[in-house]
Amino acid sequence: MGKLIIWNVMSLDGAFEGAAPWDLSMHETVWGPELEKLSKQQLADASLLLFGRATYEGMAQYWTSAEAANEGEIAGGMNNAAKAVVSTTLKSAAWNNTRLLRSIDEVAALKRDSERSIYVFGSAKLTAALREAGLIDEYRVCIAPILLGKTGGAPMFKPENAREKLELIETRAIAGGGVLLFYRPA
């Protein structure tokens, strides 16, 4: 069985985007060789990239754009990787190599059948549902050295989830003042 790993960059005050949807400008404070290397490693390790509907739509739009072509190997990895989107409202999933899942039970079945890791990028609502189902094996968070305050948007972790104790696996300081944190449920 593969591991289900949550990955995201977030501000020190917990937002994973700015006040406007898809404002990821805080990523610029931490993006560099270390995150590029980690991104490539995660793509190589992934049997599947898993998204909620909103993140899927934004990722598909970005990674198939001309702007993303400058991302080279990472753009190729994102566009060619096996992907799934969990949604009860989407009619289809047209981004290359994407399948449509209708329930968390389908995610659990994919996890059982996977030999490698499944990565969830973004997708705060999906992450909350996966937490509730007890399907998350690891959290990987890059804390950007910024407090977004009133310019911050949605929190990565939803307050409606139950308390969960985590065990620290690894920490790593990176250029730009960011910190990579790796946790697993205790």
The model's pLDDT over 120-136, given as tens digits with 9 standing for 90+, comes to 998 999 999 999 999 99
Residue 76 lies in a domain: yes
**Distance between CA 92 and CA 75 in Å, rounded?**
22
Residue 99 lies in a domain: yes
Helix (H, G, I), strand (E, B) or coil at 146: coil
Number of domains in the chain: 1
Residue 157 lies in a domain: yes
CATH code, domain carrying 140? 3.40.430.10
Residue 161 lies in a domain: yes
The pTM assigned to this predicted structure is 0.94
Checking if the pLDDT of 71 tops 80, the result is: no
The model's pLDDT over 15-33, given as tens digits with 9 standing for 90+, comes to 999 888 888 899 999 999 9
Residue 70 lies in a domain: yes
Q: Which domain holds residue 143?
A: 4-18+36-185
Helix (H, G, I), strand (E, B) or coil at 172: strand
Checking if the pLDDT of 146 tops 80, the result is: yes
